[in-house]
Amino acid sequence: MLSSESIKHKMTVDTTTDSDLKTSGLTLPAYVLLRPEGVFIKLSPPPAQDILKLFVDRLFSNDARFAGLDYANFISLLYDTDFAASPLGRVAEIRIASNIVRFPPQRKELYKGVNIIGNGERAEYMFEPVSIEVITDEPVYGPPSDDGVTPVTGYRRKVEQQPTKLDFDEFVAEMWLKGVRSGIAADAVRDVIQRGMSIRMDIASKLDPTDSRDAEIKEESDSLRMDNAPMILPNGKADLRRARNRFPQVAKDTPLLRKIPRVPGKPGYLVTGEAIEPRIPADVDLEKLAGDGTRIDNTAKGELLVADMDGFLCFDENSSEISITTKIENKGGISAKSTGDISLDVDEYVEHGEVQEGRIVEGKHMTFCADVFGSVISKGGTIQLERNLSGGHAQSIGGDIIIKGRAINAKIEAWDSEVTAAFAESCTIIGKSVSIERAVNCEIIAGELHLGIAEGCAIAGRKIRINTSNVRKHQETIITVLLPDFSDLDQQITQAKTNLAQVDNAIQAKAREITAAQSDAAFVRYQAIAAKIRDGSIKLTEAQQFEWQKIVRQFAPIMKGSDELNNKQQALKNEIERLSQLRANCGGDECCEIKEVLGDTVVRKLSSSLGILAYRDLPGHELKEKLQHPGAPQERIFSKAHGSLEWCFQIPEHSAAPAR
């Protein structure tokens, strides 16, 4: 017994031919191939999806449908933009059905309306058993004839209701015309149709777009990032005072970053076939990351940010710009947290953070913008401290040291260069030239010193100029003027003059001997001929040369040693002149000038052949003791609590005279 919802129709044959399609006004496009083995879509080139959708719409609207439909391939061709570009798309064609057949109106009426919900998010359908009206002609028989045969006198139409089933291929075509063009759950629908169930169910649902992939930046080298892990020594032990890669360094043409292009997601589709556009992926402009010293290269690997010079990697946290510089700028400071000490192979280094106590920074030209509590050591460069040096150590070998802030309880060394400071307290300051505005309780050693205010300081130097000298908490200011030590030179000059006097005496004795020989006429002739032979006036033959050698051997003892004594005399005169000039040039500009003395001040003189180097390598307590020694009374130049001083050293004459 069929329900009241069953549909009654005539049954028709479900076949068609290519000529039938043309007769119905439907012509297959060139990219649709209908062959005995099935329906194929040409993929060389693949048809545009909009054109393919138009063909499907025309097909279904003209009472035709696919038979044996491969729904997955069918939907992929219509909606998957990457399907033709996939490995499958490299084949010449793809099969989507076994045939194209007519879709009789009687069968169309088996399919009810569909409920599209949520503006196309899903579609709902009520499945029920269906039947179709089958009309047959039954023969009407007359009375039997004499020969026993019952003749057919006519035909009577017989109408019967026979149960039938829906067809998935028909379902796809009819749902297309009713607005459901995507997202049919093919397996579920086939199962319900096969089982003939009565059920209300979702037959299709929207396909969400795949998520877009934002453009990314990938680092092309493992050594671009700062690595503060302890350095591993060759013996396998960790050096806890040094980091593995504190300041990343790169060579020219090194790839730094690679842009991974953004990838749009695949569009999704409502059940009505309308596209749901994916999220627009974010892009990255690699040009905005390229700072000084870098360039952009387009390579087979993609867009690369490449180092355009040798140098150090500099990352600007505010702009994310990457630069390559010949100098290092660090903002994190130097501390135990950053694995402590660093040794820099770079011309210029700028530190914006603090250098903690106990940390060591070695480099060349170095600038510190924050306080320094540790040690900074330069080899051949300038150290510049924008702020304070407290309890630390600044040493420059061959370069200057400039302290714009305050130096407290620190040691500052520039033996071959200049030290400049605004204020120093309880510091040891050493330099070839030192300029300080104010120094309190400091030990200062300088070849040349310019000091504004000295309070309780111990000072040693060759040329000393101080504006004001004073005490500090009962500690007097003691100044030692380093004078050249002439004792060694004087001894050498005296010895040379003594030797010269001895040679002079020997020359005089030799002259007397020669004078006595002048009474011999043969000796006089010998001297005359010898002089002419020496100046080339006389040229001797071989025979004459033999006779001449006999004469020379006769008078040679008298002349022997004369030339040697003359050469020795000249050499000693030259040596005396050299030593005297050296003595005259080794001093003479030593001075001490104090414009105003306001407290106990002692100025003494000390002879030293080493100058300020006499204080080098002394332990701290010995250095302090030596600088604070007031000297013997005869060494003192000035010892007062008030007044001023202007004293200059005059080189004394060499008083020793040789014995005659």
For the chain, domain boundaries = 18-205, 216-325, 330-425, 426-486+586-660, 488-567
Which one, of 471, 468, 420, 467, lies nearest residue 444 by Cα? 420
Is residue 516's pLDDT more than 70?
no
CA distance 184 to 176: 10
Helix (H) or strand (E) holding 638: strand 636-640
pLDDT tens across 255-302, in order? Answer: 888 999 999 999 999 999 999 999 999 999 988 888 888 999 998 888
Q: Is the pTM of this model over 0.85?
A: no
- pLDDT of 142: 76
- The three-class DSSP label of residue 297 is strand
**Are 184 and 203 within 8 A, CB to CB?**
yes
Cβ–Cβ under 8 Å, residues 292 and 325: yes
Query: Of 87-96, 561-570, 608-617, which one has max mean pLDDT?
Result: 608-617
Torsion sign, CA atoms 266, 268, 272, 274: negative
Task: Identify the band that residue 233 occupies on the pLDDT scale cut at 50, 70 and 90.
Answer: low
Strands annotated E in 206-340: 216-219, 227-232, 238-245, 249-250, 255-260, 268-269, 275-276, 294-299, 302-307, 311-315, 322-325, 327-330
According to the model, what pLDDT value does residue 427 have?
95
**Do residues 282 and 217 lie in contact, with contact meaning Cβ atoms separated by under 8 Å?**
no
Rounded CA separation 510/129 (Å): 156
d(CA 241, CA 343): 11
Compute the distance between CA of residue 378 and CA of residue 638 in angstroms, rounded to an integer: 38
The residues facing 480 across adjacent strands are: 460, 604
Alpha-carbon distance of 31 to 41, in angstroms, equals 6
Q: Which helix (H) or strand (E) holds 359?
A: none
Strand stretches in 254-355, DSSP E: 255-260, 268-269, 275-276, 294-299, 302-307, 311-315, 322-325, 327-330, 342-343, 348-351
End-to-end CA distance of the chain: 163
3-class SS of residue 102:
strand
Mean local confidence (pLDDT), 394-420: 95
Give strand pairing partners of 231.
239
Strand 249-250 versus strand 268-269 pairing type: unpaired
pLDDT tens-digit series, residues 364-404 = 999 999 999 999 999 989 999 999 999 999 999 999 999 99
Q: Tens digits of per-residue pLDDT, 31-50?
A: 999 999 999 999 888 888 89
Query: Which tokens sit at 291?
Result: 């700072």
Q: What is the rounded CA–CA span in Å between residue 168 and residue 422?
A: 95
In tens, the pLDDT along 338-361 reads 556 777 777 888 888 899 988 889
pLDDT at 513: 65
| Tokens encoding 596 | 């105003």
Quick check: 659 pLDDT over 50? no
List pLDDT tens digits, range 166-209.
999 999 999 999 999 999 999 999 999 999 889 999 999 999 99
